Homo-oligomer: A and B are copies of this chain.
Amino acid sequence: MRIPFAKLKSEFKRVLLSLDFTDEKAEKCATTFAENSRDGVYTHGLNRFPVFIDMIKQGLIKPDAEPTKVGGFGAIEQWDGNLAPGILNATFCMNRAIELAKTNGIGCIAIKNTNHWMRAGTYGWQAADAGMIGICFTNTIANIPPWGGIDPRLGNNPLVIAVPRAEGNVVLDMAISQYSVGKLQQYKMNNEQLPLPGGYDKDGKLSTDPTVVLEAKRALPIGFWKGSGLSLMLDLLASILSQGNSTGKITQSEKESGVSQVFICIKPQDNDYTANIIEEILNYTKSSRPEYEGGSISYPGENTLKTREKSLAKGVLVDDRIWQKVQAL
C-alpha cells in the first residue's frame, strides 16, 4: 500500500503533538520519520515509529529535553544529549559540525546520553546537502559477537560517509553487521532466506536462515575479523570523544538508550577539480562489466534517490498493519 508523503508526515506529527512535543520538534521528527520511509529505509521510518512512541511513554526518550554543551576545544565539542529524541539531537550535532567546518575547515561533535537516531544516513544527507563531507557513527546495544567469540559484545555501530554532489549526493550508510537486526527480522517476517550468509547457527556454521541467526545471536560482522575490529574502534571513538556510554554500558541496561555518537564535517574545495574527480570515480566504477547480463553497478545513495522519486510520485510504501497501528495511536 502506498500513501502520500504529506499524509504520512502529518499522521506522525499528530501523534507526536499528543505527547510532550512542541510544534517545531514534532514537525522535525515527523519529517525525518516520513523521509526515512520515503527513501526506502522502512525499518527506520514508519516501522520504527511505534517503538519510538513506546520509548517516550517509558520515559527513555524525553521530548522536552535539549542538548547541553559539556566541553570544547578548537574545532571539537562535547555535548550531553540529555536523552532528547535521537533525531533532534543528531540533526543539531550535524548542524554544529557543519558550522565548525565552515570556520575551521573541519569540525567534530561528540554527544553522549542521546537516543537512537533512526536512519543513520539522514545525517549524511544533511551534511552533503549543506555542501559538506559528512562522517558520522553511533554505538548501539551489543548485537554481534567479536571475532573468535560467541556472545554478542559489539554493536553493529552504523557508519555514514557522505560526499556532496550537485547531481545527487553520494552517501554510504552501513551497519557493521552484514545484515542489520531490522533486515534479519524483515526476512524472517517474510519467510525468506538471506541472499548471503548473515551469521552463524548455534553450532557455529554460517547460515542464510534469519531465524537461526537471530536465535543464536550470532549475526556476522562484515569481513569477519575486520568488521569485528572496526565495530570495536567505532565504540572506542564514540565513547572516548563523547565521554559517554560504551556498547557494554548500554547493553547492561537492556534498553538501547543513552548511546554515544560522533559527527565530523570537512569542507571540500568547491572547484572544477572536485566536481570532475567525483564524476570520474563514479564513471570508472560503473565501467566494470556487470556480473549478470542487464545488471548495473550503483554508487552508494543512487538507489535512495530512485526510491525517493518513486515515493514522491506514487506515494510512500507502507506496511498496512503498522500504518493502521500508527493511525490508532
Q: Are A284 and B247 in contact (CB under 8 A)?
A: yes
Give min CB distance, A290 to chain B, whole Å: 6
B154, A285: Cβ atoms closer than 8 Å? yes
Among B104, B153, B241, B285, which residue has its beta carbon within 8 angstroms of that of A74?
B104
> Could you say which of B73, B153, B264, B285 contacts A285, with CB atoms under 8 Å apart?
B153
Q: Is the CB of B75 within 8 A of A285?
A: no
Report the bound CA distance from A151 to B78 in whole Å: 44
B300 and A232 form a contact (CB under 8 A): yes
Q: List B contacts of A105 (CB < 8 A).
A: 72-76, 108
Given contacts A174-B223, A232-B299, 9 further A-B contacts (CB under 8 A): A75-B106, A148-B288, A151-B287, A163-B233, A172-B230, A204-B291, A223-B227, A240-B277, A246-B284
User: Does A65 touch B at the CB level, under 8 Å?
Assistant: no
Contact of A281 among B145, B172, B236, B281 (CB under 8 A): B236
Count of this chain's copies in the oligomeric assembly? 2
The verdict on A133 contacting B240 (CB below 8 Å), with A74-B103, A75-B105 known, is yes
A107, A148, A223: residue with the most chain B Cβ atoms closer than 10 Å: A223
Chain A: interface secondary structure?
A: mixed
Closest B residue, CB atoms, query A152? B288
Known pairs A249-B280, A280-B248, A281-B248; A172 contacts B229 (CB<8 A):
yes
- Which residues of B sit under 8 angstroms from A172, Cβ to Cβ? 229-230, 232-233
A170 to B108, CA, bound (A): 21
- How far in angstroms is the closest Cβ of chain B from A153? 4
- A168 beta carbon closer than 8 Å to chain B: no
B103 and A147 contact, CB distance less than 8 A: no
Residues of B within 8 A of A287 (CB): 151, 153
Distance of A149 Cα from B287 Cα, bound (Å): 9
Contact indicator A73/B223 (Cβ below 8 Å)? no
Interface assignment of A322: CB less than 8 Å from any CB of chain B: no
A39 within 8 A of B: no
In the complex formed, the residue of B with least CB distance to A161 is B233
Q: Which residues of the other chain, B, contact A295 by a CB distance below 8 angstroms? A: 148
B-contact bits for A134-146, CB 8 A (1 contact / 0 none)? 0000000000011
Contacts of A300 in B (CB 8 A): 229, 232-233
* In the assembled complex, A326 has its CB within 8 A of some CB on chain B: no
Per-residue CB contact flags for chain A residues 78-93 toward chain B (1 = under 8 Å, else 0) read: 1000000000000000
* Contacting pair A237 B149 (CB below 8 A): no
